[in-house]
Each structure stands twice: as C-alpha cells, then as structure tokens.
Amino acid sequence: MQPLEQTQISGTNSIGPDLPEVPSLPDRELPLQRIYACEQNSPAQPLFTQPVSGGQLLQWTWATAMQEVRRMAAWIDAQGWPPGSNIVIVSKNCAWWFMTDFAIWMSGHVSVPFFPAARDLSLAALFRHCQPVAAFIGPLENPLPLNEDVFHNLPFVAFPNCAPQHLPTGSAQWSNIIAQQSPLEGSPVRSATDIATIIYTSGTTGQPKGAVHNFRALSLWAKSMLPTIGPNPTGDLDRILSYLPLAHIAERAIVEVNCLFMPIHIFFTEGQPTFLTDLIRSRCTLFFSIPRLYIRFQQGVFEKIPEKRLNLLLSIPIVGNIVRKKILANLGLGNARLISSGGAAIPVDIIRWYRKMGLNFAEGYGMTESGITHAPLPGQERIGYVGNASAWALTRISPDGEVQIKGPMNMIGYYHNPDLTREAFTDDGFFRTGDRGEIDEQGRLRLVGRLKEEFKTSKGKYVAPGQIEKLLSCSYLFESVAVFGSGMTAPFAMAVLTPPLRKDLAPSGHRADIEAKLAAELNSVNAQLEHHEQLRFIVLSEQPWTIDNELLTPTLKVRRATLEQRYSPRFAFWENSQTKVIWMESL
C-alpha cells in the first residue's frame, strides 16, 4: 500500500472504486498564489494588529506585511540551504509568525512549527527528528535547552518580541534583517504537491508524530470551511483573535490559511493577563476556541449571575436583550457573527447556552493528519453533530464504527516514519482517525468517542469515557476530567476542581460542603447514563493538571495514558474504599 496515492487527485481522476470524484483545485488557489493576489488586490487592507509591551499597537496592511515577508524570504534564499529544507518556528502567536511562514514558502522551504509551551527535552527531541537548517524564535513559555547538542551551530532568528534570554548569543535579529535586506522580487510559486509544512501532533497518545502536508491540502482546509463561515453580511472586514497555538492544525487552518481566501483582520494577544482586553479590542466577528474556554466563560457568567436568575432575566423580552448584550460585550463577543469550537468534544448543553445568548455556534471536526474535514452547512446545523464532510474528504464509517477519511486533504505521511504511515491508512487509502462516529441521513457526522479509549468493565460491558466526560465538563465544579475503569466493577472519574473551588479548599472546613456538591453532581450525571456506565466514585486532585506536569498536551487535552500510568497502582485501593469522593494529596 502506498499512502502517497491518496494525494494524487486532479481533474477527473477517481480516487477509488465505486467512490465519487473530488473537485480539482486550480493553481491560482494555492497558498502562494493567494498571498500574491492579496498583496496585489488588497494592499491597503488591515492585516495584523500586534500588541507589544507598554500598551503599544503595531499595525500591518497586506502591502506593509509583504514588504517584510519579501525581505525575509530574500535573506533565507541567500543562505544557500538545499531546496525544501525544514525551518522551525517556535513562538507564541504573533504577526511575525505569519510573515515567517509566508517567507519560508516563498524561499522554497518547509515550515515546521512547534508549540511554544513545549518542555525543554521534548523540544530538543523534535528538533533532532526534523533536522532543521534554522529556527525562528519568538515569545516562549519555557526557555530553549540551549546546552543540547542539537542547538549547537544552528542559525537562530529572533522576532522583535522575543525575550533575549531565550536565545543563544549571536542570533540574528528580525529587525536588522528587514532593515538591511533587499526584498525578493517576482512571484515564485510552488507545486500543489510540494511539501508546505510538517505539523506535529500534540502527543495525546504518545510521542508527537510529524504529519507532512502539501500546498494543495492547505488550500483545501480553507475552502472546506468557506461555506460555513460565509461572507460578512454587513460587508465589513471580518476580525479574529489569533491566540490558540499556530503549531496546532485548527488555528493554522481557521486563521492563517483562511486569511488568504477571505478578508480577515487578525489580532493578537500578549498573553493570559491581557487576553480579555485584547479580545474586546478586536471586536471579533469570528471567534474560535476549545471547549475548555467556552465552559470557563459560562462559569464566569454564573459566578456573577446565578443560572436560575439569569434564565429569569432572559425570559423577559426587553430586559433579556439588554442582559444578553451586556454579557456578550463583557466576554468580548458582542460583535461575533460566528463562534466555533474544536479540538475536543463540547457538551451540547454548552452549545445550547451560547445559542440562547444569541450567538451562532458551530462545531467542526478535523485532525492533524487531515485538516478541517467537517463543518455544518448553513441551515443544516444539528446540535451534537460536527457537520457535513468537505467535498475533498470522502468519509465512511468502518464496520467497527471508526470514522475513516480519504482525499487530498490528508497528509502525505508521517515524517521519517514509514511504519506508522502504513498503519495510519487502510489498504484502499482511507486515513484511520481512531474516532468512533455515526452519520445521519443528511450526511452529518456525530462523534461518539475514541476507539482506543473505550474499555470493558469486569462485568463485560463496554464504556465510552468521552461521552461521560462531556457530561461532567458541563459542571461548574470541574476544570479537567477523565474517566477510567478497565477491568473494574464500574467506571470512575478523576478530576480537577475549578480555581475558585480550589481556593475555597484553603480553609479545611469547606471540604465537607464541596463533597456534598460533588456527590450531588455524581448522582445527576449517573441519572443520564446507562446502568453499566454509571460512575462508582470520583477522585479529586487538589493540584491542576498542566502542560508542565505532563498531564495536559500543549492544546490542553488530558493525557489519559499518562494519568493511567501514573495512578493505576491506586485504582484497586480506591475501588475498595467504598467512598464516593476521594481526595489525592497532590500531584
């Protein structure tokens, strides 16, 4: 089996027996061609707004941004690196991240982004794996482990907002290069099948793997979302805040690649302390986030206005509209015409709540290996479903319930890992997503859970933990949850309380009150589950799960395997304790 075959689609070529053909993609819609079209046709359109220290804002139009892109592309080209070399980007989201990516493509190379929150040794391992010829560095969560040999003699370029302590001495400075370098002339293009980028998985199920994507795939990610997003009905320029890691495929597709196909003004944030200020400044018309943030937003509203009182206020016609507008303005979503979620399953009650607040909420689906393949079509939204498949992502459900996808949006393969590449595809070229799903009569996909996460209890019954976790995550009590129970008499949950509740635990007398709330929540969730799915008890961590303690991925997904490996020796003891609420001392 040759996994490369599923990308060789153009014109009237069929991608498999008894399967429909997929539309072709004209060369004018490839990423570099779209960049030049924006430069020529929309030079004065605002493109980036970047906050910097001291409350300053830096602004770029397409024309001014492309002046910097062309100068950096000329500098990269002058280094004489072999065509198609890997160039790493490690930085929080910023304008220079985008401009670097464009410059890497223009100069004939491959961009390899890494999460800015990656820990030192794991980051060094990724550098060794991709063997870059250079690295562009911006603001990071953790300093680079510069003593590691992989960084010795590697050229570094520092973004203007990069902390000096994160760089080796002698690093090149973006500002100096732009000031001294002449711009690259002309409009160099790349083939649709040329490698554009390598995107590493977040490592939820083990070591990160590098998904190799060509330029055709990048364009199709954006084109697949355009029917869902649609043009701004007001005719105004759409605005979006870019803050989720650009090393993740969702932000890359939804923000970076989309800006090449529709007019979008991209805003950035300096970090968590200024996030809400930056979001409100953007007056975003489009907003994308992960379920965790939407749940936190809702919990924050309920802390100020109890849910029952809010429902009463919303039921009063004039008062309800005033309350909605005030809440959305305080969340920075007062101008949003579309908000969306991805990266993990979101509870349907959360979607219903935001829609009740007057927002158009869409849930989509994609993977590092295949881009954004599913999104709801206008007028065909169904809560609990991630929408219809893209015209370039033929989707089927295997006999064991797995969602499988075939088409030119799929990766070429895993970088330097032919064995895993072969395992990732079926013999007829479908990518194995590992997700269990169902497709309704209108072609809309519903995700049920991860196949590898399902487990059997000692009673021989299968449990899908993802569905139970969705119910638990609706609660104002929990920041993170994970369900286990393989081989046990019944499943149980491990969880982290929300920050306000963790703060309340400081006076020891509050623990009994919280336990009562937890027991009531457990009963409420169990009432919605089949008998064999009902949780026997819940284990509470008094410390959060974080990226640093390796219990969350850089995209804030729970590392289920790490949790199980770390705590499975205690499972039997917890099961025998006959207690509904169990407290761990700490991580």
Residue 193 and residue 93 share a domain: yes
CATH number at residue 208: 3.40.50.12780
In what side-by-side order are the strands of the sheet with 56-61?
A: 56-61, 46-52, 264-268, 238-242, 286-289, 338-341, 361-363
Q: Could you tell me which of 281, 276, 287 has the C-alpha nearest to residue 250?
A: 287
Q: Does 409 reside within a domain?
A: yes
Residue 462 and residue 435 share a domain: no
Q: What is the pTM of this model?
A: 0.85
Backbone angles phi, psi at 579, to 5 degrees: -120, 140
The residue from 227, 249, 271 where one domain ends is: 249
Q: At residue 50, what is the residue type?
A: Q
Domain that holds residue 423: 286-334+336-451
Q: Give the model's pLDDT for residue 587.
A: 38
Residue 147 CB contacts under 8 Å (≥ 6 apart), including other chains: none
CATH number at residue 471: 3.30.300.30
Q: Does 280 reside within a domain?
A: no
Residue 330 and residue 437 share a domain: yes
Q: Does 150 reside within a domain?
A: yes
Q: Hey, how many other C-beta atoms are within 10 angstroms of the C-beta on 170? A: 7
Residue 509 and residue 372 share a domain: no
C-alpha dihedral sign at 85, 87, 88, 89: negative
Residue 177 and residue 55 share a domain: yes
Q: Does 439 reside within a domain?
A: yes
Q: Could you tell me which of 447, 438, 436 has the C-alpha nearest to residue 364?
A: 447
Phi-psi region for residue 11, left (φ > 0), alpha (ψ -120 to 50) or beta?
left
The token duo for 475 is 């609660």
Average pLDDT of adjacent 10-residue blocks, the chain of 587 residues? 30 39 88 98 98 90 98 98 97 97 98 86 89 95 84 93 82 96 96 97 76 97 94 94 94 96 96 91 95 88 92 93 95 95 82 94 93 93 92 94 95 95 95 93 91 82 84 84 89 88 66 85 90 91 83 82 87 87 71
Q: Give the model's pLDDT for residue 205.
A: 58
Torsion (CA) 505, 509, 511, 517 in degrees, nearest 10: -110
Q: Give the model's pLDDT for residue 469.
A: 87
Q: Does 2 reside within a domain?
A: no
Residue 311 and residue 236 share a domain: no
Contact indicator for 337, 285 with CB cutoff of 8 Å: yes
Residue 486 and residue 387 share a domain: no
Residue 391 and residue 330 share a domain: yes
The residue from 432, 451, 470 where one domain ends is: 451
Residue 439 and residue 346 share a domain: yes
The residue from 429, 451, 473 where one domain ends is: 451
The token duo for 16 is 């498999």
Rounded to whole angstroms, the Cα distance separating 360 from 22 reads 29
Rounded to whole angstroms, the Cα distance separating 571 from 578 reads 12
Rounded to whole angstroms, the Cα distance separating 18 from 557 reads 38
Backbone angles phi, psi at 505, to 5 degrees: -75, -15
Q: Does 273 reside within a domain?
A: no
Q: Look at the chain and report how many structural domains it folds into.
A: 3
Q: Does 571 reside within a domain?
A: yes
Residue 195 and residue 60 share a domain: yes
Residue 459 and residue 407 share a domain: no
Residue 438 and residue 507 share a domain: no
Q: Does 474 reside within a domain?
A: yes
